[in-house]
């Protein structure tokens, strides 16, 4: 007997109980109660800082396809203007960050390399025999 699992295309809202700030997100899953709390950089930081127990997740919509899910997420972000979202919704992740120059990890790595090279040269001069 084959087990058939249904995909859920969820749009949800996460609310910080301590300050009322919100995040609107979407997520494809087979388990509506999978404890997923978003992939946004800012919401992840907020959860890490304040503790997961200070956040409430509410499923707003459950669609059967990603087109409707992304459209609703975008509409809600435009309407509600949640504080923890980086952009208008409907797409995102690393592609959005890279396309808009918001991914600073490579910039930070390049800077660290420059500082390391400069310090290495200074150290060589200081300790040269």
Convert the pLDDT of each residue in 10-54 to its tens digit.
999 999 999 999 999 999 999 999 999 998 889 999 999 999 999
Alpha-carbon torsion (64, 67, 72, 73), positive or negative: positive
The structure's pTM equals 0.68
64: pLDDT strictly greater than 60 = yes
Question: Would you state the pLDDT for residue 87?
Answer: 78
Kindly give, in sequence order, each residue whose CB lies less than 8 Å from that of residue 96, ignoring residues fewer than 6 positions away.
86, 87, 102
CA dihedral 122, 123, 124, 125 (to 10 degrees): 50
Copy the structure tokens of residue 124. 């060589």
On whether the CB atoms of residues 10 and 69 are closer than 8 A, the answer is yes
On whether the CB atoms of residues 67 and 9 are closer than 8 A, the answer is no
Euclidean distance between CA atoms 17 and 7, whole angstroms: 29
On whether the CB atoms of residues 19 and 41 are closer than 8 A, the answer is no
What average pLDDT does the structure give for the chain?
80
Kindly give, in sequence order, each residue whose CB lies less than 8 Å from that of residue 60, ignoring residues fewer than 6 positions away.
11, 12, 13, 24, 72, 76
> In 3D, which of 26, 8, 17, 19 has the Cα closest to residue 85?
26
Question: Would you state the pLDDT for residue 127?
Answer: 47
């Amino acid at each position: 007997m084959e087990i058939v699992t249904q995909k859920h295309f969820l749009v949800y809202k996460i609310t910080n109980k301590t300050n009322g700030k919100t995040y609107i997100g979407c997520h494809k899953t087979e388990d509506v109660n999978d404890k997923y709390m978003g992939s946004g950089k800012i919401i992840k930081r907020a959860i890490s800082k304040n503790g997961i127990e200070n956040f409430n997740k509410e499923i707003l919509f459950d669609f059967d396809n990603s087109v409707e899910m992304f459209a609703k997420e975008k509409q809600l972000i435009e309407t509600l203007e949640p504080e923890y979202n980086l952009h208008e919704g409907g797409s995102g992740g690393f592609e959005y960050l890279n396309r808009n120059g918001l991914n600073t990890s490579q910039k930070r790595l390049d800077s660290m390399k420059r500082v390391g090279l400069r310090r290495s040269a200074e150290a060589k001069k200081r300790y040269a025999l």
